[in-house]
Amino acid sequence: MVNDGLVKLDDPLQKYLPSNVTIPKYSIQNMTLENLATHTAGLPEFPDNFCKDYWNNFDLNHTTEYRMKIIECSQKYLPSELYQGLANTSISTEFGSKFGYSSFGMGLLDNILALKSNMSYDDLLEKKVLSMLGMVNTSITLTEEQKSDLAVGHINGDELPMWNLAPVMTPSGGIYSTANDMLKFVSVNIGLIKTKLDAAMQESHLIRHYNGFLGPNNVQVSDNNSGEGFYVGLGRMINTNYGSEVVWHNGITADGFNSIIAFNPSTHKGIVLLSSADHKDIDIANIGLLHKEGFANLIWNLLY
């Protein structure tokens, strides 16, 4: 949308959100679209009014009953609540100065893009990305056939129901896909398939901020992790050995799935790993952060 001239990365949020929405500032600075896309807006992981009691203890409670409560609670979140959560947020650092992973910020960004396009985020995703790449089994709203093919998420060996995350939060974790479709996405990112999205893909790989050895969900990474640098692009995590770079992102959802996609544009290699179990049971997601031993080390050596 930037390349099409519809938005600019340095546009303030005030340009796109309803006039009655209070948007926090830092001194006289305005929060921009790039701040949201690079997780440098100073926003928390989730809004303070989004299932607060559950998310605050997410890492401490891994029972099936607890996850069922999160799934139920997060299905009911409204756009008005998202905007109220934004108004309730206090910013303590200069915009663009510090990385802090925020599903809140990414959800807010994609809602802004949908508003600008005058369509739902589901439709926007289909029009701008999925149809272009032939990703026919990737969607937020699944057909009955896709639902019948859907793997069941698990925690502690127990099955969990579909999350059906509230539409206003689906951009931050409510998209379903398949390994085949995600490999199409990898292929475009590493240049094996040419599309009109090539320029946008390449720009998303550019290092824009140092992330201070924090990853998605603000997991702290040891700074002696194979001597790599950890950075962030537009919606992408970037690891580099200062010779080549690996672009990646992981996913952990309340309904018992975790995953990672990673690729090296210079070697034309990429991986997609999907697990229908919680990351506390089978940790696929965090091989992008802690990869000095075992399976993670094997994968990272392959990519570099």
What are the pLDDT digits (tens) for 5-21?
Answer: 999 999 999 999 999 99
With 90 as the cut, is the pLDDT of residue 172 above it?
A: no
CA distance 163 to 166: 9
pLDDT recorded at residue 36: 97
Name the band, by pLDDT with cuts 50, 70 and 90, for residue 292: low
Task: Please report where in the chains the tokens 């690079």 appear, as a residue.
Answer: 38
> pLDDT tens across 30-42, in order?
999 999 999 999 9
> pLDDT tens across 177-194, in order?
999 999 999 999 999 999
With 60 as the cut, is the pLDDT of residue 69 above it?
A: yes
Name the band, by pLDDT with cuts 50, 70 and 90, for residue 227: low
Name the band, by pLDDT with cuts 50, 70 and 90, for residue 214: confident
Query: Across residues 139-160, what is the average pLDDT?
Result: 93
Amino acid identity, position 106: M
Query: Across residues 229-250, what is the average pLDDT?
Result: 91
Phi, psi of 261 (to 5 degrees): -125, 135
Return the HEC string of 47-113: CCCCCHHHHCCCCCCCCHHHHHHHHHHCCCCCHHHHHHHHHCCCCCCCCCCCCCCCHHHHHHHHHHH
**CATH fold of 13-303:** Beta-lactamase (3.40.710)
Most confident range (mean pLDDT) of 53-62, 238-247, 261-270 is 261-270
Is residue 204 classed exposed, middle or buried when 0-12, 13-18 and 19+ CB atoms within 10 A define those classes? middle
3-state secondary structure at position 269: strand
pLDDT recorded at residue 226: 61
Cβ distance 259 to 284 under 8 Å? yes
CB atoms within 10 A of CB 48: 15
> Lowest-confidence range among 172-176, 232-236, 294-298?
294-298
CA distance 100 to 93: 11
> In whole angstroms, how far apart are CA 304 and each of 98, 99, 187, 203?
27, 25, 17, 21
Cβ distance 260 to 273 under 8 Å? yes
CA distance 49 to 37: 22
pLDDT recorded at residue 219: 73
Query: Across residues 88-115, what is the average pLDDT?
Result: 94
> pLDDT tens across 261-273, in order?
999 999 999 999 9
With 90 as the cut, is the pLDDT of residue 47 above it?
A: yes
Task: Kindly state the tokens that stand for 3.
Answer: 């390349």
pLDDT recorded at residue 105: 95
Percent of the chain with pLDDT strictly greater than 70: 93
Look up the pTM and report it: 0.93
Domain boundaries, the chain: 13-303
Cβ distance 262 to 251 under 8 Å? no
pLDDT recorded at residue 286: 83
pLDDT recorded at residue 294: 76
